[in-house]
Structure 1
Amino acid sequence: MSMIQFPVIDPVATGANICRLRKDRGLTVRDLQHYFGFEEPQAIYKWQRGQSLPSVDNLYALSALLQVPMNEIIISTSHIVSCEQQAAACCSGLFMGTFPQVQWAWQNFKTA
């Protein structure tokens, strides 16, 4: 069974980073609430506490507002998983078994 490092977003560290970046820019939670057009600020507070993460389009908008690339907002951590565990989680067994080049690429995948 081959093992690889698989990047995973750390929601608590990412939330703390969103809070830090927001404060560094002199923005309030209410500023973000209005920017996103949310009726209530709860979503922003949940992001900051790591209880949820912004959707991809909200993350994209947040990066524009904070003037940083998306990858500077997200804090990742690596988990060691087996190739079979990851394949089962994201891909059909038929897909992984049918295409040898996909299996080879997956088994030889290196994270940066």
Structure 2
Amino acid sequence: MVATGRNIMKLRKAAGLSVREMQNIFGFTTPQAIYKWQHGTAMPTIDNLVVLAAVLDVTIDEILVVQREDIVQFAT
């Protein structure tokens, strides 16, 4: 989750968007959700991932960072 959060921050900055602008795009009353995504303490919902991908002009696969160790631990 932390790696995905860092990736969201990197993609947001590359798109030239501030956290406040992202907050407005999503219609959030506070920027806390955006910060939680970026810090990896929470993940966007599927609906928000779809919007995030459209706003950042990337695919959902380009947003999510999946590490092989995580998959192996989950499977066991």
- 1:94 is aligned to none
Based on CA coordinates, which of the two structures has the bigger radius of gyration?
1
Which whole-Å deviations, capped at 9, do the CAs of 1:20-78 have from their partners, x for residues lacking one?
00000110000110000000000000000000000000000000000000000000012
> What's the TM-score once normalised by structure 1's chain length?
0.62
Q: Which of the two has greater helix per residue?
A: 2
> What's the TM-score once normalised by structure 2's chain length?
0.91
- 2:5 is aligned to 15
- 1:60 is aligned to 50
The count of residues paired between Structure 1 and Structure 2 equals: 74
Secondary structure class of the residue paired with 1:15? helix
Gaps of 5+ in 1: 1-10, 86-112
Moved over 3 A (4+): none
RMSD between superposed Cα atoms in Å = 1.5
- 2:28 is aligned to 38
- What letter corresponds to residue 66 of structure 1 in structure 2? L
Q: Which of the two has greater strand per residue?
A: 1
- Give the distance between the partners of 2:50 and 2:4, measured in 1 at CA: 14
- 2:14 is aligned to 24
